[in-house]
Structure 1
Amino acid sequence: MLEIQRKLTNTFYAILALPATGMGFALSIQIAVLSWILNSQYGLDIHEIGIVWAAGPLAGIFGQVIIGLISDKVWFWGGRRRPFILIGGTLAAIMIIALPNIGAINDFLGIGSILAVAIVVALTLDLAINISFNPTRSIIADVTPDGVPRTKGYTWMQTISGFWGVMAYAIGAIFGNYFLIYLGAFIVLGFSFIPPFFIEESKELTEPKKETESIEVKSKVTQWGELFKLYFAHGFSWIGVQTMFVYIISFIQQKLNPASETETGQIISISFLVLNAVGFILPAFVLEPITEKIGRVKTHLTCVAIMAFGYYGIVFFGKSSLILYLLMAVCGIGWAAIVSLPFAIMSEKVDQSRMGFFMGIFNLSVVLPQLIVSLVLGYFIQQAEDKNIIFIISGSTLAISAFLWLLVKEKFVLANKS
């Protein structure tokens, strides 16, 4: 074991975050370009785009649970999570390159359906991301103790991952989405292959030694009641967030009236750049210190409520791209919490030896809402004359999520600092 891991230094937390960062970068590419490329290059309408987006959640339902369960029990290539990070990263890089070549793949294979090929490529990309995402998150819980170190692991994960997510949207906005796709494939591959060899995994999933005596010993009993409260609260957050990710293109086209498809793509990229800029700055530098004072659940529900207000603000005031960017910064406060704090909260309510499995189950609170957004809400959004409905849905579901987080209990213990 390297000394940086033994001492849990900031350098180690940064390295530990890189595999999840690689998958987050792949996801950022998908969010930035998938709807845009399907609409502008292949002419798919908003309902067809929703069907393509449904491929990912379907992959997640099976992928993360199965991979999590398997990775809890196996050991090869020098690790429990490492093999799946390597395999998923390689496959994700290949599928990213396939995105702008869907038409060529369709012609080469003689399938005769752009929609069918797009679904297969999106499904494979999401399956690859899901193969890796579970292990990249589980490994953080595997090698960090409960309490402040665990929270720090996940907030650092989001800060590092969020920074590179911002870079993805910046690259797309400045150099174009095609440049982002090809450069991104190499970044995903590098972050998936190099860092895992600097992280030593234990063959036995045992309880890590506590940082301080003031942190209580974690129960081995899974708190199912609390988990279901957490799942529902997190699920409503993701209905709102996914609605924004998939259908913001329709809002921009109707309300901001961009001059070209290129300008539409740039507005999407800048919007998500701003969202992720706030999302990467806050977790390690703002949210983590706040959680030490008031607890993770209170911090999280406050951020989610602020995001709901940001979405409603877009409905009432989002008449220009500048206002959209400013309100996206407000929404970024909630985004920073959604992609970091729930993992730390959930990880201390389950049996440590089954962390991969429970990370997979936890992912259902993300992918099932995504399916609802793609297969149910897409039809209503397409039929609606006023595309403000997109952010009305987002704001309402985030408000419900904030209320449900009030029901989640947390045994908050202040860690002593020496």
Structure 2
Amino acid sequence: MEKPRQGFWGLWNISFGFFGIQIGFALQNANMSRVFQTLGASMDDLPALWVAAPLTGLLVQPVIGHLSDRTWNRLGRRRPYILTGAVLAAVALFVMPLSPAFGAPLIFAAAMLWVLDASLNISMEPFRAFVGDMLRTDQHAAGYAVQTAFIGTGAVVGSIFPFVLEHLGIANVAPGGGIPDTVRWSFWAGSVALLAAVVWTVVTTREYSPDEQAAFAAGDGKVAEAPPASMLAEKSYLSSGAWIVLGAVVALLVGLLDLEKEVLLLGALLALYGVLSAVAIALARRGKAANMLSSIVGDFSGMPEVMKRLAVVQFFSWSALFIMWINTTPVVTQYVFGSTDTTSIAYNEGANWVNVLFTVYNGIAAIAALALLPAMSRRFGQVATHSICLTAGAVGFLMFFFVRDAQVLLVAEIGIGIAWASILAMPYAILASNLPQAKLGIYMGLFNIFVVVPQLLVATVMGSIMQAFFPGEPVWTMLFAAVTFLIAAGAMLRVAAALPSTPTETALA
């Protein structure tokens, strides 16, 4: 039994909700450093304030993936989580600009960032699996390309909001150093757009039932193998102990090397995973492997080889992206517009220009997803295409290190946009075509660990590195980003050997 082939409107409806979700991510990525600095945070505080975002993704996505694989109700399998996350994210976006009205505005804003990112992750993880659920193997590349186009378009809309509102006469500098009206109204409009887009997808799609999905999987020959959780009983406690020891070593280095205290969080997470894995092994040895903890730990330790190799690529790719999201505003305002004073006209003009830059790279991503990636994939294959695109992104980051002209930086965003399009499409298309359908949710959730962990490292370790070697010089972060993209491009070349077959790539029809 084979899934029906989706036409243009089918692909549109399946992915349209991502347009709204990405508006939320774009508003967050382009404006939260500005909000934090406006509320009194120093540049060195930014990584610590941003740490909430990746941490919530690390905790939320594997759990949601596990649950969505096992859910079926009137709304379906993935759609209940997609809708719930969208409602919570819309509320967080609406409340965020009200931070100055609270007694501790900076703390409140950081808390709202935590809620916003958790909610967006609740929606996003099932959405990744949703595309794989709804499409045939030979349409996976097309489906994730359309999704990427909506992501890019949504990010353009979210990123350009403040710039457009300023040109419509909305105040871009608030009296007393508060959050400008351009940012406030952007968040409120984004809240409405996010919810409306997700509701569109929920209303216009019908998920396949568990019986239908099982029949499709049998037809594709991708029936899930023995659950990795059941094999946990055979594992030694040595690996669990190694994670705990590694966490303790990281914590010890914080004191010895006088690192930023946020690095303690990284050590705590490593040790916590060691403890949880030991508990999962103990449960499995007692014949109690059928639980969420054992399933998640078992699936993580038993990842397919193609997923392990793609994980390395994701780790370095997202390290660079998170460096960009945290540091583009400080770099552009300080080096291009010549101001670090958040109350100055120059700083706020620079911050708005960052929204323009982010708009360009997302717009390029939307175009590249439909016009460039399919042609490159047919010509070079998905693996080589992704490696080439990551290299283009590295060139873009290098330009930020050398260029001091605001207009020329638009050129840098072309390379970054091409890389962003590929990051959002190629790894997921490869995974969806080579993983068991019944486990697509949990594997997509676990794959996100390699999106989140590098962000945690950047949020905790990068601040210590910059403080030690380049205090007050954020431009060096862009050189770090370029190097990590190049490492990811090299690591991608190892993925081809792990692919059991080359999925058929088709046009967007």
**Shorter-chain TM-score above 0.5:** yes
Matches within 5 A, 1:15-414: 15-40=13-38, 42-104=39-101, 106-107=102-103, 113-147=104-138, 149-175=139-165, 176-204=182-210, 205-206=213-214, 208=216, 218=222, 220=224, 224-256=304-336, 257-258=338-339, 259-316=345-402, 318-382=403-467, 384-385=470-471, 386-409=473-496, 410=499, 411-412=501-502, 414=504
Structure-2 separation of matches of 1:195 and 1:87: 13
Q: 1:415 to 1:376 in 2, by over 3 A?
A: closer
- Equivalent-residue separation in structure 2 for 1:192 and 1:322 (angstroms): 35
* Root-mean-square deviation over aligned CA pairs: 2.2
Give unmatched runs, 5+ long, in structure 1. Answer: 108-112
Q: 1:274 to 1:161 in 2, by over 3 A?
A: same
CA contact (8 A) 2:63 2:445 kept: yes
Worse-superposed segment, 363-372 or 15-24: 15-24
AA paired with 1:322? Answer: Q
Q: Computing the radius of gyration over CA atoms, which structure comes out larger, 1 or 2?
A: 2
CA shift at 1:267, angstroms? 1.3
Partner Cα separation in structure 1 for residue 154 and residue 27 of structure 2: 11
Q: State the one-letter code of the partner of 1:234.
A: Q
With structure 2 as the length reference, what TM-score do the two structures score?
0.75
Match of 2:271 in 1: none
Deviations 1:41-100 (A, max 9, x none): x11112322112110111111111001100110112321111111110010011011221
Change (3 A) 1:415 1:230: closer
Rounded Cα–Cα distance in structure 2 between residues aligned with 1:413 and 1:71 = 25
Evaluate the alpha carbon distance shift between residue 26 and residue 207 of structure 1 in structure 2; reply closer, same or farther with a 3 A threshold.
farther
User: 2:7 pairs with 4, 9, 13, which one?
Assistant: 9
Q: Matches of 1:80 and 1:51 in 2, distance apart?
A: 35
How many residues of Structure 1 are paired with residues of Structure 2 in the alignment?
A: 401
Hey, what's the Cα distance between the residues in 2 that align with 1:414 and 1:335? 23
Deviations 1:358-387 (A, max 9, x none): 110011111111111111102333551433
Residues 20 and 137 in structure 1, CA contact (< 8 A), matched pair in contact too: no
Per-residue Cα deviation, 1:319-340 (whole angstroms, up to 9, x for no partner): 1111112111222111111111
Q: C-alpha distance in 2, partners of 1:330/1:54?
A: 27
In the alignment, the residues of structure 2 paired with residue 346 and residue 15 of structure 1 have an alpha-carbon distance, to the nearest angstrom, of 22
Opposite residue 293 of structure 1, the aligned amino acid is R
Q: Which moved more, 1:198-207 or 1:72-81?
A: 198-207
Task: Quote the residue 2:291 is aligned against.
Answer: none
- For 2:253, the equivalent position in structure 1 comes to none
Q: What's the CA shift for 1:220? A: 4.3
Aligned position for 1:110 = none
Deviation at 1:348, TM superposition (A): 2.3
Structure 2 spans left out of the alignment, 5+ residues: 166-181, 226-301, 340-344
TM-score when normalising by structure 1: 0.90
Q: Distance in 1 between matches of 2:192 and 2:99?
A: 19
Cα separation, partners in 2 of 1:382 and 1:271, compared to 1, 3 Å:
farther
